[in-house]
Amino acid sequence: MLQSAEYWIRKLVLKSHPEGGYYRETYRSDEQINSRLPKRFTGKRSFSTAIYFLLKGKHASTFHRIKSDEVWHFYAGSGLYIHIINPTGKYSEINLGPYPDKGQVFQCVIKRNHWFGATVKDEKGFTLVGCTVSPGFDFADFELADRNKLLRLCPREKSIIEKLTHPKIRD
């Protein structure tokens, strides 16, 4: 029996994530790196972190980037499209899901400093994934995309950028 998004949100004790969707941190290494980190990091970082992340079908994970590589692992539900814009403005898409014969992959890597967001393949479904980050995730390393800046970087992808960013609120 296929479980619902609400089942997984309750069962895994997930909470709302700032980029959209629901999450819960499941692992944070008790050891930290306190020296020899690249200059892009400020302060110590855990060796590694992991989360569950659930996205409902009509919702989206908005474009954001982090300072570490992030590995996504498919667990349950519908396939997921991960939309990526690299630092030079090149767009690509990864189809994460349970059907390798249909071009889906069970896991993928999002490289550091690449803008990325996600949409669920089946708008009536959901996707449950895991995300592992090393050096470990810290909200100090998290940046939501500015729509206008991303449009200047990658103007050909206006439709997906507008879908996966929030418009600026004028003062």
Answer yes or no: is 171 within a domain. Answer: no
Both tokens assigned to 71: 């590995």
Answer yes or no: is 157 within a domain. Answer: yes
Answer yes or no: is 100 within a domain. Answer: yes
Residue 163 φ/ψ region, left for φ over 0, alpha for ψ in the -120 to 50 degree band, beta for the rest: alpha
Distance CA 105, CA 8 (A): 22
Answer yes or no: is 37 within a domain. Answer: no
> Could you read off the pLDDT tens digit of each residue along the chain, which spans 171 residues?
579 999 999 999 999 988 889 999 999 999 988 878 788 888 888 999 999 999 999 999 999 999 999 999 999 999 999 999 999 999 999 999 999 999 999 999 999 999 999 999 999 999 999 999 999 999 999 999 999 999 999 999 999 999 999 876 443
Answer yes or no: is 39 within a domain. Answer: no
Number of domains the chain contains: 1
> For position 19, which CATH number holds?
2.60.120.10
Helix-, strand-, coil-residue percentages of the chain, each rounded to 5? 15, 40, 40
- Longest CA–CA span in the chain (Å) reads 50
Domain membership of residue 100 as a residue range = 5-29+45-163
b (16+ CB within 10 A) / e for 14-43: beebebbbbbeeeebeeeebeeeeeeeeee
Report the amino acid identity of residue 137: F
Distance CA 21, CA 82 (A): 14
Answer yes or no: is 35 within a domain. Answer: no
- Please choose, from the candidates 44, 74, 53, 61, the residue with its C-alpha nearest in 3D space to the C-alpha of residue 141: 44
Answer yes or no: is 143 within a domain. Answer: yes
Give the per-residue pLDDT at 170: 44
Omega within 30 of 0 (cis) for the link into 135: yes
Give the per-residue pLDDT at 169: 46
- Please choose, from the candidates 60, 45, 63, the residue with its C-alpha nearest in 3D space to the C-alpha of residue 138: 45
Give the per-residue pLDDT at 70: 97
Distance CA 168, CA 56 (A): 24
Answer yes or no: is 40 within a domain. Answer: no
pTM above 0.85? yes
Give the per-residue pLDDT at 1: 53
